[in-house]
Chain A
Amino acid sequence: MKNRTTVERKSERELVVTRTFNGPARIVFEAWTKPELLKRWWAPKSTGVSLLSCEADVRVGGRYRFEFGHEASKPMVFFGRYIEVTPHSRLVWTNDESDDGAVTTVTFDEKGGKTLLVMHELYPSKEALDGTIAGMEGGIPETFAQLDELLVTTQLAARTC
């Protein structure tokens, strides 16, 4: 049976994601901390976006860098630093690609062979979280951005014809 993922805005500055896994914390933690495993689930196929590269030096002060995208020339890059690494129970990292990036804390809580995972994202301000949410604006801006791109390409194509 599939476990449920929940997301809740706990406060003006916090988002919390929870999910239970049918395995011990040691294993779930491993899947979050070994780049070769992380790679296998961080960019699921159903999303249509691929992970171009994934580096994660999971130790206190270590850095990570994920690159997503459809083409290598224009990747979307996410990076930051691990500020707390407690094997099998807790991971904390920064999201440094933006000044409004959150600090992410993931805890792994094992009970009876299952692991409750809680991912807590603390944004620097209410405006930062509001901005992140508003930035998506129902998917419109990016759609328009892609539309703009498409229009530019078609115009260029029309001009060269």
Chain B
Amino acid sequence: MGVKAAGNAARARPPLACRQSVCYIQNYMVQYTRTGFDASFAALSDATRRGVLEQLGRADASITDLAEKFHMTLTGMKKHVGVLEQAGLVTTEKVGRVRTCKLGLSRLEEEAAWIERYRQLWDARFDELDNVVEELKRKVDGRKKRVSLPP
């Protein structure tokens, strides 16, 4: 399944334009995570970081690779990757002395993050539902009181 494969094989990911179209439909819940959304936009507001994402969309890369490609110092690139990592757009993994960057979260992290977002959505709904329930309870109580009042 295409969507699932995208989660498994960062290396084989198609370009962003293709990836987004696969997943665009129905993903309304994403909009429920304002904070994540803002962090993503902040991360994406920088041309270098957008370039890094495009690069990682083609293949995983080390920080050193990225620094070279974008004619930057290691420290500078580390900062950019850190911002992307914070926004959940990139994950990094250190093997030996090399830190490899790839797009997105690992499958397990992805699932946990999704479940948490889904929980937050329902939690927000249920908080509102609490209000509706309280209001209906008051109405019922009011009716009972009226019924029990002497004529």
Distance in angstroms between the alpha carbons of A22 and B29 in the assembled complex: 26
A7 touches B110 (CB 8 A): no
Indicate whether B6 reaches chain A with its CB closer than 8 angstroms.
yes
Distance in angstroms between the alpha carbons of A15 and B118 in the assembled complex: 10
B119 touches A5 (CB 8 A): yes
Interface string of B3-38 (1 = CB under 8 A from A): 110110000000011011111111111111110110
Which of B1, B20, B132 is A41 in contact with, Cβ under 8 Å?
A: B132
How many residues on the A side are at the interface (Cβ–Cβ under 8 A)? 49
B136 touches A142 (CB 8 A): no
B4 touches A127 (CB 8 A): yes
CB within 8 Å for A37 and B132 given contacts A143-B30, A144-B16: yes
Interface residues of B (CB under 8 A from A): 1, 3-4, 6-7, 16-17, 19-34, 36-37, 40-41, 44, 88-89, 103-105, 107, 109-111, 113-119, 121-134, 136-137, 140
B26 touches A135 (CB 8 A): yes
**Secondary structure call for the A interface:** helix
Q: Which residues of A contact B24 (CB under 8 A)?
A: 141-142, 145
Among B23, B88, B127: residue with most chain A CB under 10 A? B23
Q: A41-B129, A137-B105, A143-B37 are in contact. List 19 more A-B contacts (CB 8 A).
A: A3-B130, A15-B118, A22-B133, A40-B131, A41-B131, A41-B132, A49-B28, A68-B28, A130-B1, A131-B3, A133-B114, A133-B115, A136-B114, A137-B7, A138-B36, A142-B31, A143-B41, A143-B44, A148-B17
